[in-house]
Amino acid sequence: MWIESFEFFSGAVLAYMITRIPFLTFPRVKSWNEQFPPHPEPIYVDAHLIQRVLHMRLFYWLALVFAIIPLTFGWVSLAHGSAPFGFGLWTVSGWLVLSRVTGFFAGEEAPCTKQMAMRLQQTRNVSDSEDSCCAFAQPMWEVTCVRCKACGKVLLNEPRPDLGRPRSDGWIMGFVRLVISDGKPIMASDEEE
Ligand SMILES: [Zn+2]
């Protein structure tokens, strides 16, 4: 009995890892992060950052494409190999597809969205215009909000999701945290004053 449980568990863990490959690995390559300060420092809101938000959104949805791998292997394994292993693969990848698709229709937000990129662009535009908070407006995305570095005014009340920078909490803790949070911001946004 415990062999079947072990096989099921292995399949489940493997499926979980495969579907997180795009989000956990691609954006963390060193050359991809040279224009950003190291995690968890605030990031300057510019075209690079907005591009990154859109990339993270892409990686989030790419998980659906990667789910095809464990679904296929799971099917083969169910038919010809170890049934518990195949079932493990199927359960996790099937759950991922279902929860993302239903979440999408229910209006549940992904960690990074196009609307988020647009709000950041808007903040950037205001800072460049005559309506800026101060003469040397420098919008920086901190953990809980976008704040002007020069005058300290909160420009956008938006907690920062994981942006794919290598984690400061180390490879293992960073990995665990990402797997649990799925990249969503861990801190809630500051309450409006
Ligand atoms: Zn300012």
Contacts of 182 (CB under 8 A, 6+ apart): 111
Residue carrying the six token digits 């229709």: 105
| 69 Cα: distance to centroid of ligand 1 (angstroms) | 48
Nearest alpha carbon to residue 61 among 95, 25, 96: 96
Distances (CA, A) of 184 to 93, 109, 160: 19, 10, 8
pLDDT of residue 177: 83
Residue carrying the six token digits 């988020």: 116
| 131 Cα: distance to centroid of ligand 1 (angstroms) | 10
Which residues, listed in sequence order, are joined to residue 154 by a DSSP beta bridge?
Answer: 147
H/E stretch holding 185: none
Q: SS3 for 155?
A: strand
| pTM summary value | 0.85
Is 143 in contact with 160 (CB distance < 8 Å)? yes
Nearest alpha carbon to residue 53 among 27, 77, 25, 29: 27
| 20 Cα: distance to centroid of ligand 1 (angstroms) | 38
Domain boundaries, the chain: 2-181
pLDDT tens sequence for the chain (193 residues): 899 999 999 999 999 999 988 888 888 888 888 889 999 899 999 999 999 999 999 999 999 999 999 999 999 999 998 999 999 999 999 999 999 999 888 887 788 999 999 999 999 999 999 999 999 999 999 999 999 999 999 999 999 999 989 888 777 888 888 877 877 876 655 444 3
